[in-house]
């Protein structure tokens, strides 16, 4: 893509001047070997860029898979057997406050029914 931008922005006259400068600097005898070396370096660069791109795509795939697993685990954690209000899948884009309030209310109700432990008085201590 970079080459496409370069080729479109450089005209025929500019290419002619560039080729003349390269011919003068490198020389006619060394021009084929220099062009070959430049081509080899360009191929190495392209392979490295493709490898990097492939690694990024693999990481994206792994992260997407991990996010899906986390969402499934969250759905399973909030799903209660036999309770139709929580039997539907959890939508993580919605606030969890209703589920938190429901859990807190059930925990508060359980602690109120449990007998309170006797606190030692100052005289017993």
Q: How confident is the model at residue 76 (pLDDT cuts 50, 70, 90)?
A: confident
- pLDDT-wise least confident of 24-33, 62-71, 74-83: 74-83
Residue 76 to residues 15, 21, 24, 42, 67: CA-CA distances in angstroms? 64, 69, 72, 51, 14
How does DSSP classify residue 80?
-
Note the pTM of the prediction, 2 decimals: 0.43
List the Cα angle 48/49/52 in 5-degree steps. 85
- Does 96 score more than 70 pLDDT? no
Work out the percent of the chain whose per-residue pLDDT is above 90. 20
More confident residue, 13 or 103: 13
Residue with tokens 């799903």: 79
Tens digit of pLDDT for each residue in 2-20? 666 666 777 888 888 888 8
CA dihedral sign, ordered 96, 99, 105, 106:
negative
pLDDT of 98 above 80:
no
For residue 13, give both structure tokens.
């006259």
């Amino acid at each position: 893509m970079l080459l496409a931008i370069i080729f479109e922005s450089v005209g025929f006259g500019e290419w002619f001047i560039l080729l003349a400068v390269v011919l003068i600097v490198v020389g006619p005898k060394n021009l084929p070997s220099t062009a070959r070396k430049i081509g080899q370096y360009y191929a190495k660069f392209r392979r490295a860029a493709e490898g990097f791109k492939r690694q990024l795509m693999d990481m994206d795939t792994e992260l997407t898979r991990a996010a899906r697993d986390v969402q499934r685990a969250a759905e399973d954690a909030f799903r209660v057997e036999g309770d139709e209000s929580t039997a539907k899948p959890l939508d993580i884009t919605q606030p969890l406050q209703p589920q938190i309030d429901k859990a807190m209310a059930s925990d508060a109700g359980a602690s109120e029914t449990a007998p309170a432990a006797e606190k030692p008085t100052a005289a017993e201590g």
